[in-house]
């Protein structure tokens, strides 16, 4: 029997019978406690998967546990002690010159709402640079007691996202993390601002093909997704949440992967993930079955997103997670007659239910790039994001501060009204001691990229 409970505007559902919580037997990581509740947008439970009509944004789902590992290397960023104090002073002059607290970022607009908090457009008061600031409320002690599962998840997801992002070497198709800050009751990830908005929004708006893109355009975005994911895989990270909602466009219209809350650093190990985690429509059969899996699950998701961009809906849809899950595991893939031969070929290879027989994109990267589906892609120009490259959508940006490519549902919100008690939450934790438990739990969170990195990429 599925159990249902409500949290904010979202429903949380667990399907113990259908998607058993799986213990992760990770050789590299220390394990955390299991999380068993599947958290989904309530709209996805009631008919957002129909093939026509408006689509609603799909939330990521978590059946199982997170691991919060320290990545083996931190190549491009300087790790900053929590609130610049907890792990001892940093001597670097460069670091001190650009240390920031949350006071240094002026909120401009609300850009969106994630499962665990809002995302704001903010401006550095000193440099006037724009950033996206993802806020996640910390659990108060009484909340941990009352709603421990939900709040623990948000914390672990945030810590994981910060650790993964801070370990990723620069890649144009992966969002950049510039700062990770915390105060008395929130975490803040200060990210590269992507003013082109969600690919999902462009897929569902102003599109003469309904909810679909032209095949050439699909190949362009698929190639950029693949470049981003190949980079992640090369450094040992499984992304685990590829979907149009997590693909944002920069000012030039190049695609950037965001939202690393479900990603996992598995190093060079194979088949070590076991958490049933992701967004149902894009999750591989091996993930849903509770089998051990690895990078191959991401290439299944790419197949789903390619299908989605071409058809206007993912390959396996249904009115409940149970029905989607069952179709992904059992139903034969049906490719619409109007897909080209090349699209059908690459999709049948990516959407092979057997991960061992699926297109081994990481191993056969050259063959993947040479597939006829990508025949119009100049991969070297794409990798360089050369100015001579025309992007399918050039986002309209009259003023980046207007956030025109984001939903008015969020951008029309008054920022001041979104920050109740700002004067309290902005007190740095060093001057406003947190409960002892929190201090231990969140030690080492605060972080800043090097100023040269920020200057170069922001
Ligand atoms: N770097 C960014 N630049 C611009 N907008 C962003 C950025 N990151 C996030 N957003 C906006 O905020 C929204 C929510 O962010 P995000 O998906 O990271 O939250 P989440 O809690 O992880 O979401 P989910 O519930 O899908 O897991 C995005 O859909 C997007 O509209």
Q: Kindly report the three-state secondary structure assignment for every residue of 100-151.
A: CCHHHEEEEEEEEECCCCEEEEEEECCCCCEEEEEEEECCCHHHHHHHHHHH
Residue with CA closest to ligand 1 atom 1: 193
Query: Could you give the CA distance from residue 275 to residue 66 in angstroms, rounded to a whole number?
Result: 8
Residue 161 CA: which ligand 1 atom is closest? 22
Query: Which residue's CA lies nearest to atom 19 of ligand 1?
Result: 114
Which of 114, 194, 249, 277 has most ligand 1 atoms within 8 Å of its beta carbon, as the pocket-test mutant?
A: 114
Give CA–CA dist 337/354, Å, rounded.
24
Atom of ligand 1 nearest to the CA of 191: 1
Q: Is 421 left (phi over 0), alpha (psi -120 to 50) or beta?
A: left
Query: Ligand 1 pocket, 261 CB below 6 A?
Result: yes
Expressed in angstroms and rounded, the spacing between residue 131 Cα and the centre of ligand 1 is 13
Does the beta carbon of 192 sit less than 6 angstroms from any atom of ligand 1? Answer: yes
In this structure, is residue 48 part of a structural domain? yes
In short, whether 82's Cβ falls inside 6 Å of ligand 1 is: no
Catalytic positions, written as ranges: 241
Please name the residue that has the structure tokens 């401006």.
123
Ligand 1 center–CA 203 separation, angstroms: 16
Q: What is the pLDDT of residues 324-360, one digit of tens each?
A: 999 999 999 999 999 999 999 999 999 999 999 999 9
Does some domain include residue 108? yes
Residue 22 lies in a domain: yes
Q: Is the CB of 172 under 6 A from ligand 1?
A: no
H or E stretch covering 14? strand 10-14
The whole-angstrom separation of Cα 441 and Cα 445 is: 9
| CB 193 near ligand 1, within 6 Å | yes
Nearest ligand 1 atom, CA 41: 25
- pLDDT for the residue 6: 20
* 254 within domain boundaries: yes
The answer to whether the CB of 258 is under 6 A from ligand 1 is yes
- Determine the distance separating the centroid of ligand 1 and the alpha carbon of 114, expressed in angstroms: 6
Name the residue with tokens 């149970």: 322
Cα(360) to ligand 1 centroid in Å equals: 29
Residue 259 Cβ contacting ligand 1 at under 6 Å: yes
Cβ contacts of 20 within 8 Å, gap of 6 or more: 290
> Is 24 within a domain?
yes
Considering only CA atoms, which residue is closest to atom 28 of ligand 1? 112
Do the domain assignments include residue 406? yes
Q: Is 227 in the pocket of ligand 1 (CB under 6 A)?
A: no
Cα(380) to ligand 1 centroid in Å equals 29
Which residue, judged by its Cα, is nearest atom 12 of ligand 1? 112
Reported residue count of the chain is: 458
Reading the block at residue 324, the tokens are 């989607």
Structural domain span for residue 70: 6-457
* Whether the CB of 111 sits within 6 Å of ligand 1: yes
- Phi then psi for 347, rounded to 5 degrees? -70, -40
Residue 451 and residue 97 in contact, taking contact as beta carbons nearer than 8 Å: yes
Sequence-distant (≥ 6) Cβ neighbours of residue 73 within 8 angstroms = 167
pLDDT given for residue 30 in this prediction: 29
Q: Do the domain assignments include residue 272?
A: yes
pLDDT digits (tens, 9 = 90+) for 18-34: 222 222 333 333 223 32
Name the DSSP letter for residue 183: B
**Which protein residue's CA is at the shortest distance from atom 23 of ligand 1?**
114
Q: Is 60 in the pocket of ligand 1 (CB under 6 A)?
A: yes
DSSP 374: G
Tell me which long-range contacts 336-339 makes (C-beta under 8 A, separation of at least 24): 336/310, 336/311, 339/215, 339/310, 339/311
Residue listed under structure tokens 């790790």: 79
Strand 177-182 to 186-192 pairing: antiparallel
Digits of tens for pLDDT over the chain (458 positions)?
322 212 222 222 232 222 222 223 333 332 233 222 233 332 222 233 334 456 676 767 654 332 222 223 323 333 333 333 333 333 333 444 468 888 899 999 999 987 778 999 999 999 999 999 999 887 765 555 555 566 667 778 888 899 999 988 789 999 999 999 988 878 999 999 999 999 988 877 655 566 788 999 999 999 999 999 999 999 999 999 999 999 999 999 999 999 999 999 998 788 889 899 899 999 999 999 999 999 999 999 999 999 999 999 999 999 999 999 999 999 999 999 999 999 999 999 999 999 999 999 999 999 999 999 999 999 999 998 888 888 999 999 999 999 999 999 999 998 864 443 333 333 333 434 444 444 445 777 888 888 778 877 87
Q: Whose CA is nearest to atom 27 of ligand 1?
A: 60
**What ligand 1 atom has the least distance to the C-alpha of 193?**
3
Query: How far away, in angstroms, is 177 Cα from ligand 1 center?
Result: 13
CATH of the domain at 225: 1.10.510.10
Cα–Cα distance list, 262 to 20, 258, 281, 286 (Å):
18, 11, 15, 17
User: How many domains does the chain divide into?
Assistant: 1
Q: Is 276's C-beta closer than 6 angstroms to any atom of ligand 1? A: no
Are 188 and 134 in contact by the 8 Å Cβ rule? The answer is yes
325 with 20: CB under 8 angstroms? no
Is residue 175 lining ligand 1, measured as CB closer than 6 Å? yes
Contacts for 235 with CB less than 8 Å, ≥ 6 apart: 167, 168, 169
Decide if 1 is inside a domain: no
Q: Tell me the pTM.
A: 0.79
Residue 395: what pLDDT? 93
């Amino acid at each position: 029997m599925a159990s249902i409970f409500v949290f904010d505007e979202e429903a949380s559902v667990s399907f113990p019978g259908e998607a058993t919580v799986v213990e992760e037997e990770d050789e590299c990581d220390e394990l955390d406690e299991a999380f068993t509740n599947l958290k989904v947008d309530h709209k996805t439970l009631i008919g957002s998967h129909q093939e026509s009509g408006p689509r609603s944004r799909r939330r990521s789902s978590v059946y199982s546990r997170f691991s919060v590992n320290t990545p083996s290397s931190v190549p491009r960023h300087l790790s900053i002690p929590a609130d610049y104090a907890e792990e001892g002073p940093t001597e670097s002059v460069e670091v001190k010159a650009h240390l920031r607290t949350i006071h240094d970022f002026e909120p401009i607009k609300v850009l969106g709402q994630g499962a665990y908090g809002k995302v704001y457009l903010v401006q550095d008061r000193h440099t006037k640079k724009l950033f996206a600031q993802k806020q996640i409320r910390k659990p108060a002690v009484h909340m941990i007691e009352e709603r421990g599962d939900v709040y623990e998840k948000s914390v672990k997801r945030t810590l994981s996202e910060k650790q993964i992002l801070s370990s990723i070497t620069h890649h144009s198709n992966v969002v950049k993390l510039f700062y990770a800050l915390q105060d008395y009751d929130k975490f803040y990830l200060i990210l590269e601002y992507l003013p082109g908005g969600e690919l999902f929004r462009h897929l569902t708006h102003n599109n003469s093909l309904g909810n679909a893109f032209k095949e050439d355009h699909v190949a362009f975005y698929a190639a950029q997704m693949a470049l981003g994911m190949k980079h992640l895989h090369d450094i040992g990270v499984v992304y685990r949440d590829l979907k149009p909602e997590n693909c944002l466009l920069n000012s030039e219209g190049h695609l950037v992967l965001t939202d690393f809350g479900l990603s996992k650093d598995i190093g060079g190990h194979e088949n070590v993930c076991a958490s049933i985690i992701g967004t149902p429509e894009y999750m591989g059969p091996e993930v849903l079955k509770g089998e051990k899996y690895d990078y191959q699950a991401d290439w299944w998701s790419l197949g789903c997103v390619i299908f989605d961009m071409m058809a206007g809906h993912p390959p396996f849809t249904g009115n409940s997670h149970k029905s989607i899950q069952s179709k992904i595991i059992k139903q034969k893939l049906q490719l619409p007659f109007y897909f080209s031969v090349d699209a059908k070929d690459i999709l049948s290879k990516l959407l092979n239910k057997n991960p061992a027989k699926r297109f081994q994109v990481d191993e056969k990267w050259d063959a993947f790039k040479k597939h006829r589906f990508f025949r119009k892609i100049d991969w070297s120009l794409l990798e360089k994001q050369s100015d001579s490259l025309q992007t399918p959508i050039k986002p309209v940006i009259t003023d980046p501060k207007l956030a025109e490519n984001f939903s008015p549902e969020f951008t029309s919100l008054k920022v001041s009204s979104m920050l109740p008690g700002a004067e309290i939450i902005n007190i740095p934790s060093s001057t406003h001691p947190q409960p002892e438990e929190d201090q231990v739990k969140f030690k080492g969170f605060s972080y800043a990229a090097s100023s040269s990195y920020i200057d170069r990429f922001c």
